[in-house]
């Protein structure tokens, strides 16, 4: 489907603007359909729900094609099913049955099968902003997104299908131990106390204990829960493993886990943009992250979503028109303004014009991530 659209931050959305993409609630339901004209009431409610950006129809742009790695209906189905299982896990009367009956493992092996059937033939992963989901969706969308991202990264690393099917369900369930931790701690916006931090860090072992009891879940999947917070330099948890001593699933999973946490709306802060999250990954390569997986990630994940407003080193302004398969960090830009004046739209391919760079994203709602202690302290909580 082709739409004339651009990404607009909530602070700049005006009544009468028309949505170019649907917006989703925490349970996977569509809150507002594509094509809805936004009223002031809608805009306020969306801001209250934690939305940072929306896709808006814009007649000034040429047609921009929206790609997604996973069909929208598949996303809705998977998120809704994840919520149903997690709701049971959050019910003291049902949690033991879900774990000890093997229901958890069976459900997520099936759910990953649905996702894998949707993505297996994609060779270039074009990622749209996770910010199309409200902040209360994070528990479920993070589970789904990390499963998708980890699978693409695993395929880029050379894993065969059998190995991907060991990685995928474990990646989706990597944070399952958090369901046994008080939400008031997980959603705390400020610095955690020592006791609270220890409670959060315990989720890795809790998750591992849960996953290894699932008869339908491949045994290596449990390493995703246990080791996704180990760091390449040995400063992670729970075992302070270092380098190659960390299971390859743990080293791989650390990258999409942090990336998706940063690019998703949270209760205590808005999403950052994909290119900012990638900058964070590179800044912590060799310390937090295994360099090989960061470099592979940069090659298979598009950090410049179509419709993103940008400024070029020439001073021109425009929006991302489409990605370049040869280099996802050098997209095609549709130029709309030069020296503050509107011009007849034209495209510039940054893969061909090597002296032109993207110097700034024109969205101003994202937060500084490297210097913010909350990001560092509870990076993917």
Residues whose CB falls within 8 Å of the CB of residue 323, separated by 6 or more in sequence, listed in order: 124, 126, 302, 304, 306, 331, 332
Mean of per-residue pLDDT scores for the chain: 86
Tens of pLDDT, residue by residue over 212-247, are: 999 999 999 999 999 999 999 999 999 999 999 999
Distance CA 173, CA 144 (A): 9
| pLDDT band for position 380 (cuts 50, 70, 90) | very low
User: Other CB atoms closer than 10 Å to residue 211's CB: what's the count?
Assistant: 27
The answer to whether 350 and 356 are in contact (CB under 8 A) is yes
The answer to whether 76 and 24 are in contact (CB under 8 A) is yes
The answer to whether 379 and 362 are in contact (CB under 8 A) is no
Q: What is the DSSP letter of 121?
A: T
Confidence at residue 26, expressed as pLDDT on a 0 to 100 scale: 72
* Six-digit token string for 203: 């989720």
**Higher pLDDT among residues 184 and 82, named by residue:** 82
Distance CA 246, CA 235 (A): 12
**Which H or E element spans position 79?**
helix 72-89
Residue 163 buriedness (CB in 10 A; 0-12 / 13-18 / 19+) = middle
Tens of pLDDT, residue by residue over 259-288, are: 999 988 776 677 788 888 999 999 999 999
Task: Indicate where the chain has its CATH 1.10.3210.10 domain(s).
Answer: 72-303
pLDDT at position 175 over 90: yes
- Quick check: helix, strand or coil at residue 19? strand
Q: Specify the CATH number of the domain 2-65.
A: 3.90.105.10
| pLDDT band for position 292 (cuts 50, 70, 90) | very high
Helices marked H in 242-354: 248-262, 274-283, 291-300
Cα angle for residues 92, 96, 101 (degrees, 5° grid): 145
Give, in order, the Cα–Cα distances in Å from 105 to each of 143, 161, 313. Answer: 14, 19, 50
| pLDDT band for position 62 (cuts 50, 70, 90) | low
pLDDT at position 370 over 50: no
Q: pTM here?
A: 0.86
Q: Specify the CATH number of the domain 72-303.
A: 1.10.3210.10
Task: Indicate where the chain has its CATH 3.90.105.10 domain(s).
Answer: 2-65
* Six-digit token string for 135: 């902040």
Distance CA 123, CA 127 (A): 13
pLDDT at position 305 over 50: yes
Distance CA 204, CA 207 (A): 5
């Amino acid at each position: 489907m082709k739409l004339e659209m651009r990404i607009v931050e909530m602070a700049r959305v005006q009544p009468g603007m028309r949505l170019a993409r649907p917006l989703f609630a925490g349970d996977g339901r569509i809150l507002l359909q594509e094509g809805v004209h936004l009223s002031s009431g809608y805009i306020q409610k969306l801001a209250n729900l934690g939305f940072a950006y929306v896709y808006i129809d814009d007649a000034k742009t040429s047609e921009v094609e929206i790609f997604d790695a996973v069909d929208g209906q598949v996303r809705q189905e998977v998120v809704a099913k994840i919520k149903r299982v997690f709701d049971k896990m959050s019910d003291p009367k049902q949690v033991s049955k879900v774990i000890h009956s093997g229901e958890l493992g069976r459900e997520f092996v099936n759910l990953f099968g649905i996702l894998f059937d949707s993505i297996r033939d994609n060779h270039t992963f074009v990622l749209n902003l996770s910010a199309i989901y409200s902040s209360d969706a994070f528990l479920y969308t993070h589970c789904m997104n990390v499963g998708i991202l980890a699978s693409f990264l695993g395929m880029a690393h050379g894993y065969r299908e059998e190995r991907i099917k060991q990685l995928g369900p474990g990646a989706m369930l990597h944070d399952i131990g958090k369901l046994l931790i008080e939400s008031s701690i997980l959603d705390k916006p400020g610095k955690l106390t020592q006791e609270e931090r220890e409670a959060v860090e315990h989720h890795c072992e809790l998750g591992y204990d849960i996953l290894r009891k699932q008869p339908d879940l491949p045994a290596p999947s449990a390493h995703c829960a246990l080791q996704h917070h180990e760091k390449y330099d040995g400063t992670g948890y729970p075992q302070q493993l270092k380098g190659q001593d960390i299971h390859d699933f743990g080293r791989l999973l650390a990258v999409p886990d942090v990336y998706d946490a940063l690019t998703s709306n949270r209760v205590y802060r808005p999403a950052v943009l994909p290119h900012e999250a990638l900058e964070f990954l590179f800044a912590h390569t060799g310390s937090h992250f295994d360099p090989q997986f960061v470099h592979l990630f940069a090659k298979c994940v598009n950090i410049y979503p179509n419709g993103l407003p940008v400024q070029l080193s020439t001073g021109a302004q425009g929006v991302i028109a489409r990605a370049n398969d040869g280099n996802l960090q050098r997209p095609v830009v549709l130029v709309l303004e030069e020296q503050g004046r509107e011009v007849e739209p034209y495209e510039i391919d940054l893969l061909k014009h090597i002296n032109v760079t993207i110097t700034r994203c024109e969205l101003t709602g994202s937060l500084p991530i490297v210097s913010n202690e909350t990001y560092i302290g509870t990076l993917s909580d």
